[in-house]
Amino acid sequence: MDHVISGVSKFQREVYPEKKDRFQKLAKGQNPEVLFITCADSRIDPSMVTQTEPGELFICRNAGNIVPPHSNYTGGTTASIEFAVAALGVSHIVVCGHSDCGAMKGAIAPENLDDLPHVKEWLSHSRAAREVVKERHGHVCKDHLDEVTKENVLLQLQHLRTHPAVAAKIATGKVTLHGWVYNIETGGIDAFNAQTGDFSPLDEEQQAALVGG
């Protein structure tokens, strides 16, 4: 914890003065372009990975970068999505999974989560991703982790489309969806390519292949 407290001091002493104008502007409101939904895993830093500044990403994090399908039940993820899309007017939504995801390991073997009942229930929102991989291979195991991770990203994009605010903006071309998987070891990102129906390395020239509505 000491290094965390030291970090605050360093931020106030060195970082804040250099970005004072930006922070003073942000103090009056925010106008992010992107809603970034990713895993709560401590190894993922969306702002570092995307090299964005404060105010550019509206970040929503939870175990497994999950988007529950829309329902009458109000949860933190659902409320955050609605606020980002309907109130802040973001124009892009990224669902970003990652390599070596503990949540996806749990989704593959839910029988190992009996002592974590809330985690087990939460990961039921990933069950269809597991079943897709199981159907494809006849079984599913830890060797399929990367495949399940990608299928989970696609599943959560489907879930996003059930949210009224998102559906409305997609229908009018005001919101674009993106599915990413971040590789912790290499720093690479694979993005879902709507033209090929597969994931491929993200680069600056790939813009035309991003997932649409």
- Give 11-44 pLDDT, tens digit per residue: 999 999 999 999 999 999 999 999 999 999 999 9
- DSSP state string for 50-68: HT--TTSEEEEEETTS--P
49 pLDDT tier (thresholds 50, 70, 90): very high
Instruction: Name residues whose C-beta falls within 8 Å of residue 136's C-beta, 6 or more positions apart in sequence.
Output: 147
Q: Is the pLDDT of residue 203 over 90?
A: no
Q: Is 2 annotated as a binding residue?
A: no
Could you report the per-residue pLDDT of 73-106, keeping only the tens digit for each?
889 999 999 999 999 999 999 999 999 999 999 9
Architecture of the domain defined by 31-209: 3-Layer(aba) Sandwich (3.40)
Q: Is 41 one of the annotated binding-site residues? A: yes
Instruction: Answer yes or no: is 159 a known binding residue.
Output: no
For the chain, the structural domain boundaries read 1-29, 31-209
Predicted pLDDT of residue 207:
52
How far apart are alpha carbons 140 and 173 in whole angstroms?
37
Percent over 90 (pLDDT), the chain? 92
